[in-house]
Structure 1
Amino acid sequence: MKEILDAILASDSTPADFGNLPLPESYRAVTVHKDEVEMFDGLSTREKDPRKSLHVDEVPVPELGPGEALVAVMASSVNYNSVWTSIFEPLPTFGFLERYGRTSPLAKRHDLPYHIIGSDLAGVVLRTGPGVNAWRPGDEVVAHCLSVELESADGHDDTMLDPEQRIWGFETNFGGLAEIALVKSNQLMPKPAHLTWEEAAAPGLVNSTAYRQLVSRNGAAMKQGDNVLIWGASGGLGSYATQFALAGGATPICVVSSEKKAEICRSMGAEAIIDRSAEGYRFWKDENTQDPKEWKRFGKRIRELTGGEDVDIVFEHPGRETFGASVYVTRKGGTIVTCASTSGYMHSYDNRYLWMSLKRIIGSHFANYREAWEANRLIAKGKIHPTLSKTYSLEETGQATYDVHRNVHQGKVGVLCLSPREGLGVRDQEMREKHLPAINRFRNV
């Protein structure tokens, strides 16, 4: 690994240099273990501690197959699927790996007693398999997390509809929280030249997810002038949704849980902000009963901020806790678009407010390659910025995941994999200087 790192850090390494580097037999990776899936039995979700389940192991380098690439990972980041994997909810991910392993002899590589997690990376291509023409050793890349086979016609209009669609590093093995990762070549995209490795690794999953959910025609198809309610507007997903709304001429109504998070939204340019903690919204009276009076109070507050208008789009991801309110406050003919359920999967809402007001609920899951490419292009152009707030070492991934699990973080948290320190990897210093305040926005909180 030292030879690989030295080549990456050198300013004069060529594609041939990278192609001639010997691959190590093993590398360090963050894993969960199959024989520990019951370790949290009897504990509530909140009590489950990723620091106990996540390990840094030495693992063998996987076989490289057709259409694939091995990437030296300089940095990665923690997503909520890292939390789910680490606490074995809603199901242990080993079932995903077993099912994938049954699809082909090559896929059998993924069915192991350990799962290398992580759905983001920024790094350098080391090797490409047969049939890869667009990428070569030495290319500096980021990766999106859509893994598809595309042997079925279903995926050829929108690859997210491929029956064999999976999320890399969650439903596949050999993810990005490691020194080396195995990806399909059609996951790769150019690394934004003005960003460091850790900054470039941070947007991938959440930026692409927010783009499809809010901007794409496969999601809400946001337009200029729309009022967009964004839950968790300073978080991993919401911070990108807020930027997309502002960049696209819409008005974000940012829902946050503290004044600190409200200040982050103001620094991005948002003006309509609801601090749900300070204003005391309680959408549930008890475990089984929602409070429509709170929906109405919430809707009234939104109209105070928008000059009397209801929201055109709700950017949903908390799920059970907020979904009833989301359906209620959306304007007639408006759209609720959801990509997650971090507070619970079993949603409950009053359907009268949906059908009688002709509202739509759209499910949105990650993004196809084109959407991910467009989202990354906006990062590369400096139109959308990383929301990295803190960076951890590979050995500290358990703590990083714990922080995301307990929602004590802002924006995204990064993980240094091969990179020996923060601040490396910038190739366009002039562009970086132009956007430095925005790049550091979440670090300065």
Structure 2
Amino acid sequence: GDLDAFHVGGSDGAGVVWAVGEDVRTLKPGDEVVVLGNQWDERAEDIRLGADPATSASQSVWGYEENFGSFAQFAVADEYMCHPKPRRLSWAGAACYMVTAATAYRQLFGWQPHTVRPGDPVLIWGGAGGLGCIAIQLVRWAGGVPIAVVSSEERGEECIRLGAKGYIDRREFDHWGRLPNTDDQAAMDRWLAGARAFGRRFWEVLGERRAPRIVLEHSGADTIPTSMYLCDNAGMVVICGGSTGYNGDVDLRFLWMRQKRLQGSHAANARQAREITELIDRGIVDPCLSLVLDFDEIGAAHQLLHDNRQPPGNLAVLVGARRPDEGAQA
């Protein structure tokens, strides 16, 4: 049909397989699955030549760039997008985690040699958000030391509960935004004073004078200058979004002379989605479901996100399920 005539959104979801196409081999009607909202053409030339499917020129996001997403009674997904639903989770819990969890997993473990190692300090922006709450648990699981950046003490305490060593309240600093012109020495001095104060706060929380080997970024324009400054020599800033803007200013002296890495990361591939699902299925990682809304509240859920008024963690909406706890099995 005409895909421009309507749009079904929703890039996360969990449900029961109702029917399968003739070429499907690994699924059957009745299977309970979680969907990774990352689509690609398995016949694409770059994939056939060995590319990570998540980097393919054919890659797109289901329920966002593509149609027939999860905000409907029936959704149409490709076979490789579906993963076994963790039995212990409710439908709401299973539906809330994949986009944020798989994205964080790829950021932290998908970019060799900059994967989290035991003892690594890791700075996590938006620690109480959907990405952050998963990233904190993953860094802790790998033996790293997660330190969260948050916008309130309440959110900071939630990060500590999830395993963060501590948190930094970004409201205590005012140097956020675009990097000044590096020829304007007075403006650069003011910016550096703010960035260095932030770095000292990081040391205080960590308990030693070490820089983060990995910085998990998604906030973009307001924070990239600080992230690139603070990141350790030969460390990595890995970014999957730009919620405060897409102009990422970088003082190239920090990038080349300190031999740092600025790495883009988008969604995840099927293996990474399966591995984070395994960690959640085993109870190692909590999906951090904090709010469940009804189907007719989808608009309200988006407004909460837009206004940054959502509770810490991930949100879900009920489409077919009747209760927030429906679907969980012992």
TM-score by length of 1: 0.69
**Counterpart position of 1:93:** none
Partner of residue 71 from structure 2, selected from 177, 185, 190: 177
**SS of corresponding position for 1:326:** helix
Q: Does 1:298 align with 2:198?
A: yes
Corresponding residue of 1:361: 262
* Structure 2 residue corresponding to 1:379, chosen from 276, 280, 284: 280
Unaligned runs of 5+ in 2: 182-186
| Counterpart residue identity of residue 209, structure 1 | T
Equivalent of residue 133 in structure 1, options 7, 25, 36:
25
* Matched residue SS, 2:71: coil
1:233 aligns with 2:134: no
Distance in 1 separating the partners of 2:163 and 2:55: 35
Letter paired with 2:203: R
Alignment of 1:159-178 (within 5 A): 159-178=53-72
Partner AA of 1:427 in structure 2: Q
User: Is this contact kept in 1: 2:179–2:249, CA < 8 A?
Assistant: no
Q: Give 1:287 deviation, angstroms.
A: 9.4
The structure number with the bigger radius of gyration is 1
Alignment correspondent of 1:417: 319
Q: State the Cα distance separating 1:362 from its structure 2 match.
A: 0.7
> 2: distance between equivalents of 1:112 and 1:258?
42
Answering whether residue 85 of structure 2 is matched by residue 191 of structure 1, we say yes
Shift, 1:319, TM fit:
0.2
**CA-atom RMSD, angstroms?**
1.7
Give the alignment partner of residue 45 of structure 2, picking from 147, 153, 156.
153
Q: Which amino acid aligns with 2:265?
A: S
Matched, 1:119 2:11: yes
- What is the SS of the residue equivalent to 2:235? strand
Q: Please state whether the residue corresponding to 1:386 is helix, strand or coil.
A: coil
- Closer, same or farther: CA 375–219 of 1 in aligned 2, 3 Å: farther
Partner of 1:144: 36
Which residue is equivalent to 1:266?
Answer: 160
Answer yes or no: is the 8 Å Cα contact 1:324–1:349 preserved in 2.
yes
Q: Could you report, residue by residue, the CA deviation over 1:232-266 in whole angstroms, capped at 9, with x for unpaired residues?
A: 00101111111111111000111101011011011
Matched to 1:360, the amino acid is: R
Aligned to 2:173: 280
Contact 2:179 2:250 in 1 (8 A): no
Judged with a 3 Å threshold, the aligned counterparts in structure 2 of structure 1 residues 111 and 285 are, in CA distance, closer, same or farther, namely: closer
User: Is the CA contact (8 Å cut-off) linking 1:319 and 1:341 kept in structure 2?
Assistant: yes
- Partners of 1:219 and 1:362 within 8 A in 2: no
1:377-407 deviation digits (Å, cap 9, x = unpaired):
1111111111111111110100001001111
Q: What amino acid maps onto 2:275 in structure 1?
A: E
Displacement after TM superposition at 1:113 (Å)? 2.1
Written as runs of structure 1 = structure 2, the 5 A alignment for 1:38-53 is: none
Change (3 A) 1:165 1:296: same
Instruction: Give the letter for the 2:242 counterpart.
Output: S
CA contact (8 A) 1:220 1:362 kept: no
SS at match of 2:19: strand
Count of matched residue pairs: 319
The answer to whether the Cα contact below 8 Å between 1:203 and 1:386 also exists between their aligned partners in 2 is: yes
| Structure 1 outlier segments of 4+, above 3 Å | 217-220, 284-290
Q: Secondary structure at the match of 2:75?
A: strand
How far, CA to CA, are the matches of 1:205 and 1:218 in structure 2? 21
Shift of 1:420: 1.3
